[in-house]
Amino acid sequence: MLTRTRVSVGKVPFWRWALYADGALSGIYTVLVGGTVLTGLVLWAGGGAFELGLLSALTTGGGMLVALTRRLQRRFGSHKRLTRLSWTLARAVWLPLVLVLASLAIGQSIALRSLVLPLLFVTVFLSAAFAGIGNVTWFGWCAELVPASQRGGFLAARAQWLSFASLVTFPAIGWLLDRSHARQADAAGFAAALVLNGLCAGFGWWLLGRVPTAIPAAPEAGPITKRQHHGSVSAPRLAMYTVVFQVAVYFSAPFMQAWALDRLGISLGTLLSLQVIAQIIPILTLGIWGKLVDRIGLRLPLGVCSLAKAVVPLCYIFSTPTAWWPLILTYVLSFLDAGITVSTNAAYASLAGRREGNAQVVHLNILTSIAASVTPLVVGYLIGHLLVGTVDVLGVMFVISAIGRGLSGIVLLVPEQPRRRRRRPPALTATTGVG
């Protein structure tokens, strides 16, 4: 197996190019099984608000199986082996659903079509479980490959490859789904879109095999600056932020695409093409965020970006079928997502590099999964069953989401008080006397 660390292209080691390329595959995978495509699939299969909430809940709920990660790590013996297998399975598990959709494209069957939603839910859960395990071990692997002072730049570069691949994939898949919909061959369109996951799985397996298990630790380029030290976030504060932010996001995120499709009358192709904006801007800004995180730490960038994300759900509320320009602003604000991505990944990699850090990363992922799975399920149920006069329940949920996003940013921006260690009283020594 070719894992020589000295092979390089230019000044960049070959294994880094392999990880960047796998990041591009992750971008394709994210588009194919992302919110817009799966939202369209659920609506085509006859689902509604509750099914969309359930879909989101299963997507994140599968991540709770990261609790098995530590046991699997002991069994596999290395972060690389487990990451490689988990990510490949997460991409390949969609093939049974592809077969069902392909069969529907050949000949319509009521019984077979009724299997689409249950099979989709099972697939989403399994894919999320495998991806979650791989993501946790990936941070440990990243800590073994990249020095702490360079992780922000490395993670930003990998995210740029992901965004560029998404940039190309979004309009291509949107064109494919619109064409198939126009021919009343939606099943064929969704099957063709999802079959690419199998190709991503095979190529990704090969690419990750070109990456070494670890790189010998090299001395850091310089001492950690005072800004970097104060820019770090403790595990408890990061956990608090994670819960608040995930609950806030999932009050609205699973229903944004449905809002655009149903209330604003935007087609799948147009919606996917608009998301090209959300890929171009991160490509241009991820490098800046990476340098900023390496220089001042992650607390301030992550806090400011999370606070500013409060605007996003409000843009949907202010959009109308005849004037949905505020919706475009949500894609322009994708530079905030770039900052959140780099900062969060750097935080997880930093934790994974510490003693017992893998356990903390696992706990954070479990918290994320619980918050992000329970919230959309409850919200989806309320939207479908709660009627309060003329009150727009979904709009209320979007407002709550905006408030929660702002609070998550405040959680990080409030400076942490240094922990004081209790001084132990001097041990009493026994004395003996004669009396």
Q: Where are the domains of the chain?
A: 12-216+226-413
Fold of 12-216+226-413: Growth Hormone; Chain: A; (1.20.1250)
**What pLDDT score does 361 carry?**
79
Can you spell out the DSSP letters for 118-140? HHHHHHHHHHHHHHHHHHHHHHH
Q: Can you tell me which residue has the tokens 């049974």?
A: 96
Residue 334 in contact with residue 212, Cβ under 8 Å? no
Q: Which two tokens stand for residue 300?
A: 């301030």
Distance in angstroms (rounded) separating the CA atoms of residues 148 and 138: 15
The DSSP element (H or E) to which 402 belongs, if any, is helix 393-413
The answer to whether the beta carbons of residues 400 and 249 sit under 8 Å apart is no
From first to last of its 435 residues, the chain has per-residue pLDDT tens of 334 444 545 567 888 899 999 999 988 988 888 777 888 888 888 888 788 878 877 877 776 777 777 788 778 878 889 999 999 999 889 989 988 888 888 877 777 778 888 999 999 899 988 988 888 888 888 888 888 778 788 888 888 888 888 888 888 888 888 888 888 888 888 888 888 888 888 999 999 998 888 876 544 444 444 444 446 778 888 888 988 998 999 888 888 888 888 888 888 788 877 877 877 888 888 888 888 888 888 889 999 999 999 999 999 998 888 888 888 888 889 889 889 988 888 888 877 777 666 677 777 878 877 887 788 888 888 877 776 656 678 888 899 999 999 999 998 888 776 655 555 555 444 433 333
pLDDT, one tens digit per residue, over 55-95 is 877 877 776 777 777 788 778 878 889 999 999 999 889 98
Place of tokens 């560029």: 164
In the numeric block, which tokens belong to residue 366? 């479990």
pLDDT at 5: 44
Q: Is the pTM of this model over 0.85?
A: no
DSSP strand pairing (8-9 vs 12-13): antiparallel
Q: Identify which of 336, 333, 330 has the alpha carbon closest to the alpha carbon of residue 317.
A: 330
pLDDT value at residue 206: 94
Residue that is written with structure tokens 């479980």 in the block: 129
8 Å CB contact between 188 and 180? yes
Phi/psi at 13 (5° precision): -60, 150
Q: Which residue matches tokens 């929660």?
A: 404
Query: Sign of the C-alpha dihedral, residues 192, 113, 250, 62?
Result: negative
Instruction: Report the C-alpha gap between 43 and 141 in whole angstroms.
Output: 39
Enumerate the β-bridge partners of residue 12. Answer: 9
Q: Which of 181, 155, 122, 161 is nearest to 30 (CA)?
A: 161
State how far the Cα of 199 lies from the Cα of 329, in Å rounded to an integer: 34
